[in-house]
A = this chain, B = another copy of it.
C-alpha cells in the first residue's frame, strides 16, 4: 500500500492534529497565513487551512490555486469563490461541529458572519493553545534564520564601509537593501530603519531625506528573509566624534544588552529579562527606554514570546528572540543595539553577526 507523502509540513500538521481532541475540538480553522505556511508550506498571501483530526484541506481563492497546488504536497487544495461558503463546505464534508480558531487572527466581522453561517458548528477560541505554535524552532528553521542574518550583516558591514557624512538616510537605506538583495536576500524582512540624529529618537522612524552628519548616532535596524524566515539586527553607528554624554549612553545600552543576553536560557522568565535590562540601564537612563526588551522572530518579524514588563512568557529551548534595549532622547538622538538569539538549555546562541562594539565612521 502506498504511504501518504511525508515532509516537514505534514509532520508539523500531524503533531498538531494529535492535540485537537485535547482542546475539545474536532477541527481547527487557521486564518493566520504564517501558521498556514508553517503547517503546509503554502507561501501565498491569503488562504485558510481547515485541519481535522486526521485530514486537512487548504482553501484558497482563484489567485492562489495554481500556486498552492504546486507548493503543497499531501494536503488537498480547494478553490472557493466565496470564503464563507468554502469554509462551510469544508466543515460539512469533514463532519466538523466543534471548530477551533485563532481569536487574535480573526476579525469580529468575519467571526460574526461565520457564526451565522455555521449553524451546526460551534467556534472555539484557541488563544493560549496556539499562541506558541511556531515559537520553538527546529534546526532547519534556525539554519534559515542564520543564513538570513549572515546576508543582512554583510550588507550592514558594507554600509559601514561606504557611508559618509552627507548621505541621506534614504540613500543609506537603498544602498543597504541593494547590497543585501545582490547577495541573494529573497526579500527585506521589514521596513528598513535608518534613523540619524534627532530622527533616532523615533524607535520606528522611516528613512528620510535628512543628511547624516558629524556628531550623529545612526540607528540601522535591518533584516532580510530566507524562505520566509526573518533576521532582525540593529547597530548604532557613530559619525565622527561623539560627546561624552553620547558615549556614556552607548556604553549603558551595551551593558543592558550584554546582561540581558547573559541571562537568557530555557526556563527564564521573559519579564525578568526585561526587568534586568531596565535595572542595568539604571535610573538615569531607563525612563528613555520606551519599548520592550525583545520579541520572538520567525516567519513573522514580531511573534511570540514577548520580553516586556507585562509578559507572562517563560523561555524554552529553541525559541528565537531579539534583545534590543535602546534610549530615545526626543529632539536629540537615539541608540538601539539588537541581537537575535536562540534559547538553549544553559544559555543562548547569537544568530546575528555584527559586533556590538561602537562602530565609528569618519
Which positions in A face B, CB cutoff 8 Å? 43-45, 61-67, 81-82, 101, 103-112, 125, 127, 170, 174, 178, 181-182, 186-187, 191, 201-206, 290-291, 309-310, 328, 330
Contacts and interface: CB of A to CB of B under 8 A. Distances in A.
Contact of A182 (B45, B174, B203): B174
Given A109-B125, A170-B181, 18 more contacts: A63-B204, A63-B290, A64-B203, A66-B202, A66-B328, A66-B330, A67-B204, A81-B309, A81-B310, A101-B108, A103-B108, A104-B107, A106-B108, A108-B125, A109-B127, A170-B186, A174-B181, A186-B206
13 contacts: A43-B206, A62-B291, A63-B203, A63-B291, A103-B109, A104-B109, A106-B108, A107-B107, A108-B111, A108-B125, A170-B181, A174-B178, A187-B191
Given A62-B291, A178-B178, A181-B170, A202 B103 contact: no
Contacts of A186: 170, 206
A202 to B, nearest CB: 5
Contacts of A43: 206
Contacts of A125: 108-109, 112
A330 B69 CA distance: 10
Pairs A-B, 6 closest by C-beta atoms: A62-B290, A103-B109, A103-B108, A104-B109, A63-B203, A66-B330
A44 B204 contact: yes
B107 A106 contact: yes
A360 B62 CA distance: 28
B103 A107 contact: yes
A182 B108 CA distance: 42
Contacts of A205: 67
Nearest to A112: B103
Nearest to A201: B66
Given A65-B290, A66-B328, A45 B204 contact: yes
Contacts of A328: 66
Contacts of A104: 107-110
Contacts of A204: 44-45, 63-64, 67
Contact of A107 (B44, B67, B105): B105
Nearest to A170: B181
Contacts of A81: 309-310
Nearest to A65: B290
A278 to B, nearest CB: 12
A183 to B, nearest CB: 11
A330 B68 CA distance: 12
Contacts of A201: 66
Contacts of A178: 174, 178
Interface centre among A66, A108, A186, A205 (most CB of B within 10 A): A108
A71 to B, nearest CB: 10
Contacts of A111: 108
A45 to B, nearest CB: 6
Contacts of A127: 109
Contacts of A174: 178, 181-182
